[in-house]
Amino acid sequence: MTDVGRHPRITLYTLSEVVDVKGYVGNFDVSILKKARYVDEKECTACGECVKVCPVVRSDEFNLGLSSRRAIFTPFPQAVPSAYVINVNECLGHNPVVCAKCIEACDKDCIDFHMSDKEVVEKVGSIVVATGLEVYDPTELEEYAYTRFENVLTSLEFERLINAGGPTRGEVLRPTDRRRPRSVGFVQCVGSRSARRGGSYCSNVCCMNTVKSTLMLKEHYPDIDIKVFYIDIRAFGKGFEDLYTRSRRSGVNYLRGLPGTVEENADKSLKVFVENTATGKLETHHLDMLVLALGIKPASGTQRLQEMLGLQLTPDGFFLEAHPKMQPVDAATRGIFYAGCAEGPKDIKESVTQASAAAGRAIRLMHKGEITTEPITSMVVAEQCKSCGKCAEVCPYNAISVDVKRKTPAVVNTAACAGCGTCAAECPFSAIIMNHFTDQQILSQVHALLEEDPEQKILAFACNWCSYAGADYAGVSRLQYPPNVRLIRTMCSGRVDEKFVWEGFLSGAPVILVSGCHIGDCHYIDANHWTEKRIKKIHKKMTKLGIRPERLHLEWISAAEGVRFAAVMQRIESFRQGVTPEEIAETIEILKG
């Protein structure tokens, strides 16, 4: 961080918040609210004279309330910049009775109560989202009695206690009597791997953090009794299994099973009741201290940032990458990358690896000074556009602007357009041309594929990234699926226009399939939500017209689901065999009429 602070080409905004982001790859305008520090960070040498005279004492957030700080403080010893900051809501100087003791103590005149928050706008070409994480609050877990019993600590609190720079200078002391505990228990998966208690995902770091803590404890106090209550230990990284083995060999007792209740004795020691699932027995353990290994949660501002940048979140609330294997650090929006726990729980090594990859991807994108875009973008036919604004509403990338009041034709920002084609499919006036996937091109494919024996065919629209790849996967896996399936590839299922479906039925198709990525996995943020809505609309119209809606299928098939692709096709083929030539002819008559 010190290197970052000193780097001539890096502007570091501390005590700041991103309040708005506008623009697109290569041209982002980022509005930053720089909060007032009330101390000149360039002049302050962190001599500490101001702290000595500050009369306001508050609990220190960095040490999780295990020590105190003043109203003028540095957030933590290695903070960059190395300068003090005043929490003006705590400072007496902000009250009618002005204290101003820090101003008198500072011989460099760094303190200025007239400072105010400032908004700055930075122009940037790419953005790396590295917003970090939050930890699970175990207060809601009655059974562990956190906050009820003082000797139940969280793993973060324990981390501060055992840290040489922490409030006890590395001495592990019980909060109740400030004596060294003779026995310590660790409870794993607190707020992880349970939908009811935090998140259903594995937080990735807690097992090894506990293994490390047990080794440190054993190094400090070889005679200490340590018990770890776990579901299973996930020591998957390089050298992790060795550490785990070392911990076991050092005498740490690993017990399979999570505590059901914790009780406090008169001397403030703890009684932990647990079912040992390895032996099937109910056990009671007497411990001086209990440490809860907390799970990881998405950072609190994640949702706001997601809305600001038009990104996607996983069901767990972390940012979703463009592709889990091929683009693991890219966002679906071009020019935005992820690093660290913003994208999912990970340890330091993985975070550094991802951050390096994100920086590399950003440099690769920016170094030429110009952006190369795919030619698959949409184009507005100004004469046909009625400025209804539907295209702008459905565009997942905010790449289309249209002045509905002034009735000016829509304009597509081709740098921001990713080419899903949802705008073209939704435009009620056919005023948008999707280059390389034009109406004419797709309709010609429909006609060609249904030219001969249409009643024998299954017409399937498949999105490039998932379903088409799923079909491919079925092929390379040598899976059998009906040979009468005729695929039309679109970049996204969002491109499948209503008129393609009608044209398919008009050309004699007995059954039509529209398939795309699973909801939440669309490569164009949420374009397939529009597919879903559109298909529902078509189903309703079919019912009204007297056409069986079952003849139009919607299926979500991922690139890895070759087996599913084959199974879906078999199912649709059996359905197709039930569609009679009379029914097809009747449909054609209805649609012609």
Tell me which residues touch ligand FES (CB under 6 A).
Answer: 463, 465-466, 492-494, 516-517, 522-524, 527-528
Dihedral sign from CA coordinates of 304, 310, 312, 315 = positive
CB of 465 to ligand FES, least distance (A): 4
Q: How far is the CB of 405 from ligand FES (least distance, A)?
A: 31
Amino acid identity, residue 525?
I
Q: How far is the CB of 424 from ligand FES (least distance, A)?
A: 14
CB of 530 to ligand FES, least distance (A): 9
What DSSP designation does 117 have?
-
Please tell me the distance from the alpha carbon of residue 47 to that of residue 510, in angstroms, as a whole number.
81
Question: 493: exposed, middle or buried (C-beta count within 10 Å: 0-12, 13-18, 19+)?
Answer: buried
| CB nearer ligand FES, residue 39 or residue 322 | 322
Closest separation in Å from C-beta 528 to ligand FES = 4
**Shortest distance, position 439 Cβ to ligand FES, whole Å:** 18
Instruction: Quote the radius of gyration of the chain (alpha carbons, Å).
Output: 31
Q: Which is nearer to ligand FES, 62 or 465 (CB)?
A: 465
Terminal Cα-to-Cα distance of the chain (whole angstroms): 71
User: Three-state SS for 333?
Assistant: coil
> Could you tell me the smallest distance in angstroms from the CB atom of residue 164 to ligand FES?
51
How many C-beta neighbours within 10 Å does residue 8 have? 5
- Cβ-count burial of 183 within 10 angstroms (0-12 exposed, 13-18 middle, 19+ buried)? middle
Phi then psi dihedrals of residue 578, to 5 deg:
-90, -5
Nearer to ligand FES among residue 32 and residue 420 (C-beta) = 420
> Of 456, 544, 541, 566, nearest to 507 (Cα)?
456
CB of 332 to ligand FES, least distance (A): 9
Choice between 50 and 420, CB closer to ligand FES: 420
CA 450 to chain centre: 43
Counting beta carbons within 10 angstroms of the beta carbon of residue 477, is it exposed (0 to 12), middle (13 to 18) or buried (19 or more)?
A: exposed
In the complex with ligand FES, which residue's Cβ is closer, 396 or 508? Answer: 396
Pick 192 or 378: Cβ nearer ligand FES: 378
Nearest distance, CB of residue 461 and ligand FES, angstroms: 10
Cα separation, 498 vs 500, whole angstroms:
5
Considering the complex, state which of residue 222 and residue 375 has its C-beta at the smaller distance from ligand FES: 375
Which residue of the chain is nearest ligand FES when measured via CB? 516
Give CA 194 to chain center in angstroms: 18
Identify the residue whose tokens are 């007496």.
92
| 23 vs 494, beta carbon nearer ligand FES | 494
Nearer to ligand FES, 288 or 521 (CB): 521
3-state SS, residue 417: coil
Q: Which is nearer to ligand FES, 202 or 466 (CB)?
A: 466
Q: Closest CB to ligand FES among 351 and 515?
A: 515
Q: What's the rounded Cα separation, in Å, for the pair 424 and 443?
A: 14
Tell me the C-alpha distance between 262 and 285, whole Å.
10
CB atoms within 10 A of CB 120: 12
Give the distance between the most distant pair of CA atoms in the chain.
Answer: 96
Quote the least distance from Cβ 473 to ligand FES, whole Å: 14
DSSP string, 436-482: TS-HHHHHHHHHHHTSS-GGG-EEEEEETTTHHHHHHHHHHTT----
Residue 391 in contact with residue 427, Cβ under 8 Å? yes
- Report in angstroms how near the CB of residue 522 gets to ligand FES at its nearest: 4
